[in-house]
Structure 1
Amino acid sequence: MSTRWYPIYQRGGPQLRVFLPNFWLKLVRPTHEQPPNIVQFSCSMQMTKYDIKNYLEKIYNINVVDVRTRIALGKTRRVPGKGYVVKDEDIKYAYITLPKEEKFIFPDLFPEDKKAKDEEEATIQEAKKGFKEYLEKNKERPNMPGWFSI
């Protein structure tokens, strides 16, 4: 599972070794509507379906019914001004099916806070009011720059 090299055992050397996987999974918000028991992940290209299933079951204790994967090709585009073509990296997506009774709801990381929104609107209104006062104050002084005021 891991391709990291660890030092060979030497007599008298420390015995503690931690083997970490080179794999990673990233939870992705799905672009299309999906059933509530399907979760979408972005994962490393080297992971197989069995690696993904073992990763979720052993590390996160998630019951996995099925794993489907697909590889999304990276965009190919021409660099403006240079003329050569560049291709973005490909991305592997994994669709995890949970048992029917389990439902996954994507977490709302940035909930809309009404109180914060009202404070923002009050600040904007106050700024508009101050700007109107500034314009009224400099109305009787034609041909004077705006920065020249007392």
Structure 2
Amino acid sequence: MSTRWYPLYQRGNPQQRIFLPNFWLKLVRPDHKQPPNIVQFIVSIEMTKHDIKNYLEKIYNIPVVDIRTVVAMGKTKQDEVKGYVTKEDDFKVAFVTLPRGQKFEFPDLFPKDEKKFESDAKTLEETKKNHRKFLEKSNQRPGVPGWYSF
């Protein structure tokens, strides 16, 4: 359900309406070791198990076997100077079980490949060459800033 209300009546030719749900999912790395077919999400506190299942199946085409949810309390902190207490928002954690044959692994965002470093060296040399060319342009026109070129 969305909390965004649209006008019931529009004068003239009605525009197309877009449904924008207030639901969101955030994939998180689990704190404890879990089987490879269980994925952990932090979800909107208003989402039910049925909403989570529909969201994953209809939008991302992920088959879901079971969902377990837990509402976690936000952390409380006390300000050291003024002494007032603040509390972070509560959140809901969803543990989604995939079918038995499937497993989920987080992608390696920072691979340590030597090939990548070779391409970075080529890019660096090309950037240095372009910078030298840029500096030569500004040498021909004294008194004009380098960024003011055509």
TM-score, reference length from structure 1: 0.71
- Deviation of 1:11 after TM superposition, in Å, equals 4.9
Find the aligned partners of 1:9 and 1:111 in 2 and give their Cα distance. 54
- Deviation of 1:33 after TM superposition, in Å, equals 0.7
Alignment match, 2:129: none
Q: Please state if 1:7 is matched with 2:3.
A: no
Identity %: 69
Find the aligned partners of 1:82 and 1:61 in 2 and give their Cα distance. 50
Find the aligned partners of 1:96 and 1:21 in 2 and give their Cα distance. 21
TM-score, reference length from structure 2: 0.71
Q: Deviations over 1:55-110 (max 9, x none)?
A: 11111111000011111111112111111111111121110000001111111222
Runs of 4+ in 1 over 3 A off after TM superposition: 112-116
Partner of 1:50: helix, strand, or coil? helix
- Counterpart of 1:77, as a letter, is K
- Deviation of 1:113 after TM superposition, in Å, equals 4.4
Alignment match, 1:66: 66
Alignment match, 2:33: 33
Find the aligned partners of 1:11 and 1:79 in 2 and give their Cα distance. 52
Alignment match, 1:95: 95
Alignment match, 2:133: none
Partner of 2:42: helix, strand, or coil? strand
- Counterpart of 1:19, as a letter, is F
- Counterpart of 2:96, as a letter, is I
Unmatched segments (≥5 aa) in structure 1? 120-150
Q: Deviations over 1:30-49 (max 9, x none)?
A: 11111010000011111011
Find the aligned partners of 1:112 and 1:7 in 2 and give their Cα distance. 54
- Counterpart of 2:74, as a letter, is G
Alignment match, 1:80: 80
Aligned pair count reads 117
What's the RMSD between the two structures over aligned residues?
1.8
Find the aligned partners of 1:13 and 1:6 in 2 and give their Cα distance. 15
Find the aligned partners of 1:42 and 1:48 in 2 and give their Cα distance. 12
Unmatched segments (≥5 aa) in structure 2? 121-150
Find the aligned partners of 2:7 and 2:112 in 1 and give their Cα distance. 51
Find the aligned partners of 2:15 and 2:78 in 1 and give their Cα distance. 52
Aligned residue runs from structure 1 range 67-146, under 5 A? 67-113=67-113
